[in-house]
Amino acid sequence: MVEEPADPTKSTHDNRESDEQAQQGLVFLQLGFRRRERLNSRAEALEVTDGSSLAGDRAAATYNPIPDQIRSALAAALDHLHGLQVSVESSGGAILAMSSFTLIRSAFESAGTGLWILQPESRDERLLRSMRLTRDNRRQLRTVMTELGKSDPRFEHVEGRLQEQLKARPGISDESLTGVDTVTTRLASVADMFSRLVYPPLVLWRMASGIAHANQSMMVAVLERQQVGPADSGSADYSVTSSYVTIAMFYDAALTMIEALLDLYDTRNRAPGHP
């Protein structure tokens, strides 16, 4: 139950989808599940082609190389979307209003990060992004271990390996491994790839994040709502849930980002002279 200032010109605020719209949304969502399965098959079959740009990326930085990071990002994104699929299919078509957005939000983050790594034409820039992310991931683990009263002696080892790789690239040898781009920066940087989405990736992520974090304003703005009580003192009570159409739209956007990441992987994975 959330509270929103009441509109004095209206006696109710009810934007719930009709049964017909819900059925159409469920069908669209089920089509998305089949699309996810096809994309998952593509992701599981990924390899690195000799002579390709990806092979060069891997040879230039063998510690947590870029192809491994991309496959990990794809696995995380597809697994979170699979979680929503299992939820819907095992319940006979029911949707979870809040946690659905948490799962999709994670897919936006993972796919967006993969795209951000592969996006630059410059190998040096791809490597710098990759190594900064690797260091930051280990830094986060070190923080957790410190909070548990433990040490992380391998942090220095990881940082040393990354520094060796960095120094081997004259174009970026003076760069710092700290200062990795934030999730919001990553998603904003890939927006030009998705002009056909209803909303840019960063906007979709912000909306899904708001719902995941119980942001009442975002919930009222994005979710279905139905006024369930009279407007008192300028405010009204609402019951909020989610629509099939809305979740299907967010799910489809996440799939589009994953497909774009697979396509970009394929582009970087082509050997010279091959289409």
Per-residue model confidence as pLDDT tens digits over 11-52: 345 667 788 888 999 999 999 999 999 999 999 999 999 999
Per-residue model confidence as pLDDT tens digits over 57-90: 999 999 999 999 999 999 999 999 999 999 999 9
Per-residue model confidence as pLDDT tens digits over 189-226: 999 999 999 999 999 999 999 999 989 889 888 887 66
Per-residue model confidence as pLDDT tens digits over 232-241: 655 656 666 7
- Rounded Cα gap, residues 67 and 63, in angstroms: 11
Q: Is the pLDDT of residue 138 over 60?
A: yes
Q: Is the pLDDT of residue 5 over 60?
A: no
SS3 171: coil
Out of 18-22, 128-132, 138-142, 164-168, pick the least confident.
Answer: 18-22
Give all strands (DSSP E) within 201-258, no chain letters: 224-227, 235-241
Polymer length in residues for the chain: 275
Average pLDDT (260-275) is: 87
Average pLDDT (97-111) is: 95
Give the pLDDT band (50/70/90) at residue 273. low
Q: Can you tell me which residue has the tokens 């891997």?
A: 58
Asked if 117 and 66 touch (Cβ cutoff 8 Å), the reply is yes
Question: Which has more pLDDT, 119 or 95?
Answer: 119
Give the pLDDT band (50/70/90) at residue 242. confident
Mean pLDDT, the chain, integer: 90
Question: Which has more pLDDT, 227 or 29?
Answer: 29
pLDDT at res. 236: 59
Give the pLDDT band (50/70/90) at residue 231. low
Q: Can you tell me which residue has the tokens 């109710």?
A: 12
Q: Is the pLDDT of residue 272 over 50?
A: yes
Domain residue ranges of the chain, discontinuous segments joined by +: 2-268
pLDDT at res. 21: 87
Residues forming beta bridges with residue 240, ordered by sequence position: 225
Q: Is the pLDDT of residue 275 over 60?
A: no
Give all strands (DSSP E) within the chain, no chain letters: 2-5, 224-227, 235-241
SS3 153: coil
Give the pLDDT band (50/70/90) at residue 122. very high
Give the pLDDT band (50/70/90) at residue 110. very high
Asked if 166 and 177 touch (Cβ cutoff 8 Å), the reply is yes
Q: Is the pLDDT of residue 176 over 50?
A: yes
pLDDT at res. 16: 75
pLDDT at res. 8: 31
Asked if 265 and 34 touch (Cβ cutoff 8 Å), the reply is no
> What's the whole-model pTM score?
0.89
- Rounded Cα gap, residues 162 and 60, in angstroms: 11
> Half-sphere exposure of residue 71, counting CA atoms within 13 Å on the CB side?
16
Q: According to the 3-state scheme, what is the secondary structure of 56-79?
A: HHHHHCCCCCHHHHHHHHHHHHHH
